[in-house]
Structure 1
Amino acid sequence: MSFKIAIIGAGSVGFTKKLFTDILCVPEFRDIEFALTDLSEHNLGMIKAILDRIVEANGLPTRVTATTDRRKALEGARYIISCVRVGGLEAYADDIRIPLKYGIDQCVGDTICAGGILYGQRNIPVILDFCRDIREVADTNAKFLNYANPMAMNTWAAIEYGKVDTVGLCHGVQHGAEQIAEVLGAKSRYELDYVCSGINHQTWFIDLRLNGRKVGKDELVAAFEAHPVYSRQEKLRIDVLKRFGVYSTESNGHLSEYLPWYRKRPDEITRWIDMSDWIHGETGGYLRYSTETRNWFETEYPQFLEAASKPIDPTKRSNEHASHILEALETNRVYRGHFNVRNEGIITNLPQDAIIESPGFVDRFGINMAAGITLPEACAATCISSINVQRMSVHAAISGDIDLLKLAVLHDPLVGAVSTPEEVWQMVDEMVVAQAAWLPQYAHAVPAAKERLSKSTVKTREWAGAARRNVRSIEELRAEKAALKQAG
């Protein structure tokens, strides 16, 4: 087989390498072309050198090209994979910093809440640019695989406004299933069967079978509470399991910021989170992790390049969906996964226009979703709150309507639990002004926002958050890694 895959945002070096090696685990894909594109020539150079080393070490005919010219990379591509972060860490820092001034403490801030909504405002115009280029220069039947957050908003915009065949992909379901398999004592993840459905980052394990036996709520609660690690790291997630009756795919930190109950007061935040790793609820945890990872990669690049000389091991193929979807579409080897698509009857008690995440099967005929799923009422209610925010956010991003953007933020569950309407109006003005360079659709609204900010009487505070950690230096990371190696 010979076809072309374009990766937009390929400067996300670690993730691009994972996708690349996963895809080359499929024997039929040895002779394909990867076209890498990114705004950063520096990052493109690093990732191309790594991928070229992999190709050379494995004696493959695979072709790798790299260019900052996106349209050139997309020309004739059958598959386009996006893993972009518009605005980079600079804009992301404002997604965390500015809401903290108004009492909104986020762990990740990339899905909904104040940070996730503004992230969507930056990404959606760019996603539509991608879609235009795909329609104009890519293969006629090109498929767009979106890995970029905010997943639901980006996928919603690409389907409704970009008019491109799009599927959103995430790994939350797989990670949740691995946890469940572990606490239930499964010898491998293949002993666990499940139906997981909802919306991205709010997906629910509504049916669990261990070796064919149905697993109920009480058994699952007892298993998590008995686990020596998860009982401490996933306190909030276990609490939701007890109250809702089903387990969420999302980590303690992710889940905490989609709900109005657990991060509304500083003392409540520290009660429910765990500081052993950022993903369990640390304030701005993913921002810190992303900053450290970038710094670490820049410094340790020679070691990453050296590691690329090892043979590809198909037994270590990851559970990221992309390679498995491509394999199913091209070879007809059927793959079952969980995919983000437009609802249209798949989940009976969620809005038809929503982007849902639910089970489906892939073969030569495409992605075929299992329809007619009904969520437990509490799960549906929680999802619908987020869907309403997502819908307004997408429409605001398309129209550049700053008033609609403010209403979207106002209706966010955590924002609404913490902030007054006056605070939300000022916060959005402040975020739009700070991020104006990445928000062209709001250029007309920036002067008035600046004027309102100059006259504002809404009080703010400089607050690091309830559970903030400083970014560690390269030396600290090296020392920690050496200590873990010695202890292991």
Structure 2
Amino acid sequence: MCNTAKIVFIGAGSASFGLTLFRDMFFAENLRGSTVVLVDTDPVALARMAALGRLLAAKAGVDVTIETTTDRRAALPGATHVLNATAIDRMRLWRHDYEIPKKHGIRQTLGENGGPGGLFFTMRTLPMVFDFVHDVEELCPDALFVNFSNPESRIVMALGKYAKVRVVGLCEGIFGARSQVAHILERPEATIDVWGAGLNHFQWLLDIRDHATGADLYPLLREKEATHDPAFIPLDRTLFRAFGLWPTCGDSHTGEFLAYGWEADGGEDVGYDFAGDARMREEFRAQVDGVLAGTGEMPDWWTMPSGERGAAVIAATLHNERRVIESGVVYNRGAVPNLPADLAVEVPIVADAAGIHPVSLGPLPDPIAKLLAVQASVQQLAVEAAVHASKELALEALLIDPVVASTAAAKAVLDELWEIDRPYIRACV
């Protein structure tokens, strides 16, 4: 068995995500001797991340080769793993996804993975991802395609149905849920184990247990949650009290899928902090440039594992380590038996040299499955609209979405966002 990887990282110009991956590859996992090919359309961002990767690899004393290219197809031959962390003009188009529906009276918490925003994120993203995957099918058909990009559920569903690649999506949402539970329980996160199943950003914790003893922590959580600060994630806690299990991964994400999700913002259309995001990105780029120039000190946390699982999946599949990964987005095929088979679900996975193996935790409680089934239908129609570039199917996806409460608004939003995203919408199959 080959024990060195060729990892092709598409979208490597992303400074924050690139740093996260480097931290885990160099300071948490054994990927010595491997080659990492960074791919991005922005040569300046690409050069910055290559320099950062080489600096961190040297600090870790890890023998890896870091290459760069703006030519994706040139990078792919021989790849064992292909990572995707891309988005098209992310902040500008996401802002349209949020503000145009808001103008027409549609309330979205984020406008990213659900509602009209989630639809158009899907419409413009899937053609690009299928371009990547068609190249993988041709040039490195045995590679594992690891997706980090949103909308995770819809990307993995589309590839499961229409592509011939091995694919898994990874998201840190379950760790956010564990953090929330730990906050209420007033315990360190590392002392808590969680097991969840459901949809990406809409998982439900089926088990919450003490890491050392295996004791069920749900009774204590219910006791402490009842008197906890009511301002802390009120929507998720309303669902917890109604359905009996803890949902992931925070009010803004959960609220994307629900007609009453806007209540998470106290009835105000707050949305994403685009200005704050731009400010943090600029500050982080300046920090990276300072470290690379030798005028700034490298923060200690840059040399510590991030806790994400991308590098863990690579190492497990490379070295046949048969590792349990807390959560992965996979094509269902019965992993959650009371959700449709042709859907992407998020469940625990086992990774080894044979690939990615979903771990079924059995059926979800019936009321939760029925709640998720509504969103499942929305996601299925959105994927069909995107892969067939169908405006008719896109309208149907809007009209069954619980976030959309007006046919007139649905049609107006469809027309406006379709024109904005027209350059990116095209049939994938």
User: What TM-score, normalized by structure 1, do the two folds share?
Assistant: 0.81
| Residue of structure 2 aligned with 1:334, choices 314, 318, 322 | 322
**Which deviates further from its counterpart, 345-354 or 325-334?**
325-334
Which residue of 1 is the match for residue 396 of structure 2? 407
CA deviation vs aligned residue, 1:376-411 (integer Å, no higher than 9, x gap): 122212211111111111111111110100110121
Q: Aligned partners of 1:73 and 1:382: how far apart in 2?
A: 42
Query: Could you list the per-position Cα deviations for residues 303-330 of structure 1 after superposition, in whole angstroms to 9, with x for gaps in the alignment?
Result: 353568678987x312211111122222
SS in 2 for 1:85: coil
Give me the whole-angstrom Cα distance separating, in 2, the residues matched to 1:392 and 1:308: 49
Structure 2 residue runs of 5 or longer lacking an equivalent are none
Deviation at 1:115, TM superposition (A): 0.6
| Cα pair distance change 1:243/1:365, threshold 3 Å | same
Correspondence for 2:306: 318
> Partner amino acid for 2:70?
T
After superposition, what is the alpha-carbon deviation per residue over 1:165-204, rounded to whole angstroms, capped at 9, x for unaligned? Answer: 0001101011211221332233x43432332000101100
Task: State which of 281, 286, 306 in structure 2 corresponds to 1:294.
Answer: 281
Aligned ranges 1:37-186 → 2 under 5 Å: 37-138=39-140, 140-186=141-187
Determine the structure 2 residue equivalent to 1:346. 335
TM-score where L is the length of structure 2: 0.91
Counterpart check, 1:253 vs 2:231? no
After TM superposition, the structure 1 = structure 2 runs for residues 429-440 of structure 1, keeping only pairs within 5 Å, are 429-440=415-426
- Output the CA distance in 1 between the equivalents of 2:59 and 2:261: 49
Segments of 5+ residues of structure 1 without an aligned counterpart are: 274-281, 443-488
Say whether residues 1:5 and 2:7 are aligned partners: yes
Q: CA RMSD in A?
A: 2.3
Q: Are residues 262 and 125 of structure 1, via their aligned partners in 2, closer, same or farther at CA, if it must alter by over 3 Å? A: closer
Q: Secondary structure at the match of 1:7?
A: strand
Look up the match of 1:458. Answer: none
- The one-letter amino acid of 1:202's match is F
Q: Distance in 2 between matches of 1:357 and 1:177?
A: 15
Report the structure number with the largest CA radius of gyration: 1
What percent of counterpart residues are identical? Answer: 27
Identify the residue that residue 192 of structure 1 maps to in structure 2.
192
Stretches (4+) displaced over 6 A: 310-314
- What is the Cα deviation at residue 289 of structure 1? 3.9
Task: Name the amino acid aligned to 2:241.
Answer: K
Amino acid in the other structure paired with 1:4: K
Residue 62 of structure 1 and its aligned partner are, at CA, apart by 1.3
Q: What is the rounded CA distance, in whole Å, between the counterparts of 1:372 and 1:225 in structure 2?
A: 27
C-alpha distance in structure 1 between counterparts of 2:297 and 2:204, whole Å: 37
CA displacement at 1:116 relative to structure 2: 1.1
Shift of 1:224: 3.1
Distance in 1 of aligned mates of 2:300 and 2:254: 38
Contact kept in structure 2, 1:197 and 1:357, CA below 8 Å: yes
Tell me how far apart the structure 1 counterparts of residues 28 and 286 of structure 2 sit (CA, whole Å).
32
How many equivalent residue pairs?
421
Aligned to 2:379: 390
Matched, 1:205 2:205: yes
Secondary structure of 1:232's match? coil
Query: Hey, what does 1:285 align to over in structure 2?
Result: 272
Q: Which amino acid in the other structure matches residue 117 of structure 1?
A: L
Aligned partner (choices 411, 416, 428) of residue 425 of structure 1: 411
Q: Secondary structure at the match of 1:414?
A: coil
State the distance in 1 between where 2:92 and 2:301 align: 35
1:241 is aligned to 2:240: yes
